[in-house]
Amino acid sequence: MSAQFLSLSNIQFSAGKKHILHGIDLSLEGGHVYGLVGQNGSGKSTLLKIIARQVEPTSGTITLQGRAVADWGGRAFAREIAYMPQFTPATDGMTVRELVALGRFPWHGTLGRFTQKDRDLVDDAINRTDLVKFSDSLVANMSGGERQRAWIAMMLAQNASCLLLDEPTSALDLAHQAGVLSLLRELSHERGLTIVVVLHDINLAARYCDEIVALNDGRISARGTPADIVQSDVLKSVFGVEMGVFPHPVSHEPVSYLV
């Protein structure tokens, strides 16, 4: 993977007369976890969908590994970019192993033969997400945290270089939030993956992301390390409320709170 894996230049997006994204310039590297933060309606999910090629930008250019995204075929693109929406599709009657195996679809299509390599990648993804004991369980019967790990396992089986996740922790308790984000960070650093995750909680973003990209009114208002972003003046400009900051007593990482 090249240092600059994905690049967005002057991305604009409008829905009818409503302008949602304005002049987004963003470059993403391998081996990094990027947190997208901002108020509701700031454009976070729209930006993620544009990167995932779920919606077309009104204008601007995107390059993937130095090639225009428009020049990538659908399956070739899916081999590089895996996307998990905020609301995942129903999995009625599907086991964990069956869901994870869907991640191999971009590599062999509907009629392609499921090879030993495919099976090995599915097994590895299940192992890596600690789901071995749930392999034959119905996804619909699992807890929220277990389901999220099953979807992440499917993305791993896809063997993509980039994982895009829209609010993967929004319906989880604190323990499962930490478990999912810790797993994503480990995977990024171990495998050199580019991971972009939309988060509402700035403290979660600060703890688990290498860089934070803050959106405000459809524009990137701040970008930097957690230490750069978790400062009272920056947080007020992003979220529009007064926030204080103190160092964590153990890790010394910056922690924010409402004033």
**Average pLDDT, integer, range 9-36:** 95
Residue 10 lies in a domain: no
pLDDT score recorded for residue 2: 42
* 3-state DSSP of the chain: CCCEEEEEEEEEEEECCEEEEEEEEEEEECCCEEEEEECCCCCHHHHHHHHCCCCCCCEEEEEECCEEHHHCCHHHHHCCEEEECCCCCCCCCCEHHHHHHHHHHHHHCCCCCCCHHHHHHHHHHHHHCCCHHHCCCEHHHCCHHHHHHHHHHHHHHCCCCEEEEECCCCCCCHHHHHHHHHHHHHHHHHHCCEEEEECCCHHHHHHHCCEEEEEECCEEEEEECHHHHCCHHHHHHHHCCCEEEEECCCCCCEEEEEC
Residue 95 lies in a domain: yes
Mean pLDDT of the chain: 91
**Average pLDDT, integer, range 206-228:** 95
The model's pLDDT over 28-40, given as tens digits with 9 standing for 90+, comes to 999 999 999 999 9
The model's pLDDT over 72-87, given as tens digits with 9 standing for 90+, comes to 999 899 999 999 998 8
Residue 64 lies in a domain: no
pLDDT of 205 > 90? The answer is: yes
pLDDT score recorded for residue 250: 79
Domain extent, residue 224, equals: 31-55+73-234
**CATH number for 219:** 3.40.50.300
Residue 67 lies in a domain: no
The model's pLDDT over 88-120, given as tens digits with 9 standing for 90+, comes to 888 889 999 999 999 998 887 666 688 899 999
Residue 187 lies in a domain: yes
Residue 240 lies in a domain: no
Residue 245 lies in a domain: no
pLDDT of 15 > 60? The answer is: yes
pLDDT of 222 > 80? The answer is: yes
Residue 120 lies in a domain: yes
Total domains in the chain come to 1
**Average pLDDT, integer, range 17-21:** 93
pLDDT score recorded for residue 257: 86
**Average pLDDT, integer, range 126-136:** 94
The model's pLDDT over 30-66, given as tens digits with 9 standing for 90+, comes to 999 999 999 999 999 999 999 999 999 999 999 999 9
